Amino acid sequence: MYKGQVSFFMKSLILIASIIALAIVVFAVQTFIGGTVETKVAADLDMGALNVLQKNINDEGCLSYIFENTVQKDVVDLAKLTNFVATYNNREPDCAKAYDFDYAVQVRQLDTDYTLYPHFIGGDVGVMLVMDRSGSMGGPKLTAAKNASITFINQLGVSDSVGLVSYSTNADTPVALTTNHQIVIDAINVLVAYGWTNTGQALVSALSENPNSIILLSDGCWNENGDPIIQAQEAAVRNIVIFTIGFGSGILSPCSGGFTGQDFLMDIANITGGEYYYAAAPENLTSIYLNISSILPVSNLTMQNISVGNTSWAYGTFEFSPKDAVRNKVRITLPVVIRVGVDEYRNGMITITAVDGELERIAGLIEKVCTQAEAGNLVKDSMQMQITYPITYDDVTKQLCMTESSNTYCKTLDCSITTSFSGIPRKGEYFILAEFDGSTIGVVA
């Protein structure tokens, strides 16, 4: 358990005792997760987006491949995916509605040969593996991390270089980049979990080897030696790409300051031009490492105009609130297998971009009431929120629009029931009520 987690745990115990003694429910809500409403909002979006993404992958009514009446876990059916692209252009699929945020999904197929043998494109990989072995990585988690990284090393080419930095309270002396892969495998096999999480020092050690890429695995917040974003910025200046992997549910827990470990890993990847991946369980790790191998940068290229054969599909909502009206945004990537035909499968990645903004919240409120109204229920719902820019609504086009200076951002409501809404004329705090009276949904602010 990290220092931050110990502190958070103790605060939670004090909070529980206060609730029992004083029954102050409002105080409990305000201090839930990290002590701030903002932290709770961020954590809710992270978990909500992850749950919706997993539903898109594994729900029978969504993309999952069904074999002998059984959902095949993490296998996406290309036929369903193609239908989703055609059906859900700028709206969310009916099988995985989200009312507190809007989202878009991208699925990317990776060419099989390139996925397994990146060195075949004519260049050499130089990758440093940076592995968290803090106390929370003990047991099955460290075993899975070892196995996945060794599988990754075993598919490298003979001219590809790999090195290792493992870290806990301090970063170990790195195993230098080498084409003798067995040296690195031997070092991985003897790793033991203990201590805190000094991510910044680990990245300093990895950067000292001057690789062309780094794969950083961690299961929680950094809690030693300062913010690792500084090292990410140095890597970006030196054109070193960092791919990051968040491992287990702990990466979604708040750190000091309200951010999660996942937030930091996403920032590191974004700053350096890499990708962030979330491994919810140990069995996800190997496919993530193999997916990363398909997009590793290489050096000493001897071939030009290489086509790797990637194919991508996208569906969902592509129009979001303007930046100043966005409360939170998250991007999560998971590995999948794409069934493209009988006995034919491809490695792939699926990414959700989820946005919690003012337009998204109002549209979600109306659509939630609409869903229940379409089922024949007389229903109403409401919320209190700050509005940044004027909002208008046109029931003919079903367009809910926000105007920022000379720019207009619109969302199309997914609701078949006539909706009456005069809009919101100016910035301010509003109580918004949506109510179905049997024929029309009336919205007032």
pLDDT in tens, 294-330: 677 655 433 333 333 447 899 998 888 988 999 888 8
User: Is 124 within a domain?
Assistant: yes
265 and 155 part of one domain: yes
Predicted pLDDT of residue 12: 43
Over range 36-51, report the average pLDDT: 71
235 and 366 part of one domain: no
Does the pLDDT value for residue 115 go beyond 80? no
**In angstroms, what is the C-alpha Rg of the chain?**
24
User: Is 184 within a domain?
Assistant: yes
* Cα–Cα dist 405/369, whole Å: 31
User: Is 194 within a domain?
Assistant: yes
Predicted pLDDT of residue 3: 41
Residue type, 286: T
265 and 369 part of one domain: no
Predicted pLDDT of residue 42: 63
118 and 253 part of one domain: yes
Does the pLDDT value for residue 29 go beyond 60? no
279 and 364 part of one domain: no
Does the pLDDT value for residue 87 go beyond 80? yes
Contact predicate 49/252, CB 8 Å: no
Contact predicate 99/186, CB 8 Å: no
User: Is 41 within a domain?
Assistant: no
Does the pLDDT value for residue 224 go beyond 80? no
User: Is 198 within a domain?
Assistant: yes
Span of 14-23, 125-134, 170-179, 228-237 with lowest mean pLDDT: 14-23
Does the pLDDT value for residue 116 go beyond 80? no
Average pLDDT, the chain: 81
Domain end (from 293, 318, 337): 293
Span of 221-235, 238-252, 355-369 with lowest mean pLDDT: 221-235
161 and 263 part of one domain: yes
- Dihedral class, residue 240 (left if φ above 0, else alpha if ψ from -120 to 50, else beta): beta
Residue type, 17: A
128 and 226 part of one domain: yes
User: Is 275 within a domain?
Assistant: yes
Contact predicate 280/49, CB 8 Å: no
Does the pLDDT value for residue 25 go beyond 90? no
The set of residues, in sequence order, having a beta carbon less than 8 Å from that of 47 and lying 6+ positions away, is: 252
Span of 18-22, 109-113, 274-278, 423-427 with lowest mean pLDDT: 18-22
User: Is 436 within a domain?
Assistant: yes
130 and 266 part of one domain: yes
Q: How confident is the model at residue 96 (pLDDT cuts 50, 70, 90)?
A: very high
Predicted pLDDT of residue 387: 94
Where is mean pLDDT largest: 116-125, 281-290, 342-351?
A: 281-290
Helix axes 285-293, 140-154, angle to 10 degrees: 30
Q: How confident is the model at residue 356 (pLDDT cuts 50, 70, 90)?
A: very high
In order of 47, 109, 217, 222, the CA distances from 40 in angstroms are 11, 34, 25, 20
4 and 151 part of one domain: no
Predicted pLDDT of residue 255: 78
Look at the block and give the residue holding tokens 């491809």. 346
368 and 283 part of one domain: no
401 and 283 part of one domain: no
User: Is 185 within a domain?
Assistant: yes
Q: What percent of the chain has pLDDT over 90?
A: 41
Number of domains in the chain: 3
CATH code: domain of residue 239: 3.40.50.410
Domain housing 397: 358-444
Prediction pTM value? 0.53
Q: What percent of the chain has pLDDT over 70?
A: 82
